[in-house]
Amino acid sequence: MQSESQRSVRLRFAPSPTGYPHLGNIRTALFNWLFARRHDGIFILRIEDTDVARKVEGAVDIILDSLRWLGLDWDEGPYFQSQRLSIYRETAQRLIDEDHAYSCYCSPERLGAMRQEQMKRKQPPKYDRRCRDLTQQQGTELKAAGVTPVIRFKTPLEGETTFHDLIYGRVTFRHDTLDDFVLLKSDGYPTYHLANIVDDHFMDISHVLRAEEWLSSTPRHVLLYQALDWQAPQFAHLPMILGPDRAKLSKRHGATNINEYQKEGYLPDAMVNFLALLGWSLDDRTELLSREELIKHFSLERVGKTAAIFNKEKLEWMNGVYLRRLGLTEFVHRAMPFLDKSLPESVRRPLDEGYVSQVLSLIQERAKTLAEVPQLADFFFLDELLYDARLLSKGKLDAKSGIKAIMAASQKLEQAATWDAITLEGILRALATELKLPAGELFGVLRVAITGRTAAPPLFQTMAVLGKEKCLKRLEMALQLLEADLN
Binding mask 16-55 for ligand GLU (x = CB under 6 A): x-------------------------------x-------
* Cβ closest to ligand GLU, residue 153 vs residue 322: 153
Candidates 11-19, 293-301, 391-399, 430-438 — which segment interacts with ligand GLU by CB under 6 A? 11-19
Q: How far is 336 from 348, CA to CA, in rounded Å?
A: 14
Rounded least distance, CB 295 to ligand GLU, Å: 21
* Cβ closest to ligand GLU, residue 307 vs residue 371: 307
* Cβ closest to ligand GLU, residue 82 vs residue 461: 82
DSSP 3-state of 383 = coil
* Cβ closest to ligand GLU, residue 48 vs residue 269: 48
CA angle (266 as vertex; 263, 267 as ends), nearest 5: 120
Q: Where are the alpha helices (DSSP H) in 389-438?
A: 399-414, 421-435
Out of 69, 214, 317, 355, the residue judged to bind ligand GLU by CB under 6 A: 214
Q: Which of 66, 28, 52, 35 minimizes the C-alpha distance to 213? A: 28
Position 156: which residue type? P
Q: Find residue 153's DSSP bridge partners.
A: 101
Q: How far is 473 from 195, CA to CA, in rounded Å?
A: 70
Q: How far is 101 from 104, CA to CA, in rounded Å?
A: 10
Candidates 10-18, 112-120, 338-346, 402-410 — which segment interacts with ligand GLU by CB under 6 A? 10-18
User: Which residue's C-beta sits nearest to ligand GLU?
Assistant: 210
Position 249: which residue type? L
Rounded least distance, CB 276 to ligand GLU, Å: 18
Decide: 240 and 307 in contact? Cβ < 8 Å. yes
Host H or E run for residue 207: strand 207-211
14 binds ligand GLU (CB under 6 A): yes
Rounded least distance, CB 76 to ligand GLU, Å: 16
Catalytic annotation present for 251: yes
Out of 15, 21, 233, 265, the residue judged to bind ligand GLU by CB under 6 A: 15
Q: How far is 218 from 169, CA to CA, in rounded Å?
A: 13
Q: Name the catalytic one among 126, 143, 185, 251.
A: 251
DSSP state of 210: E
Q: What is the 3-state secondary structure (H, E, C) of 270-313?
A: HHHHHHHCCCECCCCCCCCCCHHHHHHHCCHHHECCCCEECCHH
Contact partners, residue 203, CB within 8 Å, separation at least 6: 10, 12, 44, 46, 76, 79
* Cβ closest to ligand GLU, residue 76 vs residue 313: 76
Residues 173-212 that bind ligand GLU (CB under 6 A): 196, 210
Candidates 9-17, 72-80, 268-276, 456-464 — which segment interacts with ligand GLU by CB under 6 A? 9-17
Binding mask 417-456 for ligand GLU (x = CB under 6 A): ----------------------------------------
Q: Tell me the catalytic residues.
A: 251
Residues near ligand GLU (CB under 6 A): 14-16, 48, 196, 210, 214
